[in-house]
Amino acid sequence: MADETKEAAKPAANQQEQQQQAMRVQVEDKHAVTSYANFCRVTGTPEELIIDFGLNAQPFGVPSEAVTITQRIVTNYFTAKRLLHALHLSVQRHEQAFGVLETDVNKRVIGRPQAS
């Protein structure tokens, strides 16, 4: 009886494995351009989200020079939600391995005198 249950479970497991393989998307990234950003700005319309990336040469306080935007991604809200989920999982795994990420630059700087 237990053998029959195991045999019945095999086709279901095979079907699930085939579905997972079918869901894998092949990606060709040899023409991708890589750039670094420490600044992002998110704006949007009712239909699209606009995400700008750039380099802020003055990470402390309000920059006196304009931040140059070097990359812009325009996407729909469905893709943005999938991106949000993927980023959340990635940051969560990173924090589990290496500790909580402090996003306040002033709290991260060691030996910086505190303003009175």
- In the chain, the amino acid numbered 75 is T
pLDDT per residue of the chain (116 residues) written in tens, 0 to 9:
555 555 555 666 666 666 666 678 899 999 998 999 999 999 999 999 999 999 988 877 787 888 999 999 999 999 999 999 999 999 999 999 999 999 887 787 765 555 55
In whole angstroms, what is the distance from residue 16 CA to residue 87 CA?
A: 26
Q: Say what the pLDDT of residue 107 is.
A: 81
Q: Using only C-alpha atoms, what is the Rg of the chain?
A: 23
pLDDT of residue 18: 63
Distance CA 101, CA 87 (A): 14
Extract the tokens encoding 88.
């959340």
Angle at the Cα of 29 (from 86 to 90), degrees rounded to 5? 20
- Please tell me the pTM assigned to this model: 0.65
72: nearest Cα among 103, 43, 99: 43
Residue 69 · residue 54 · CB < 8 Å = yes
CA neighbours within 13 Å on the CB side: how many for 30? 1
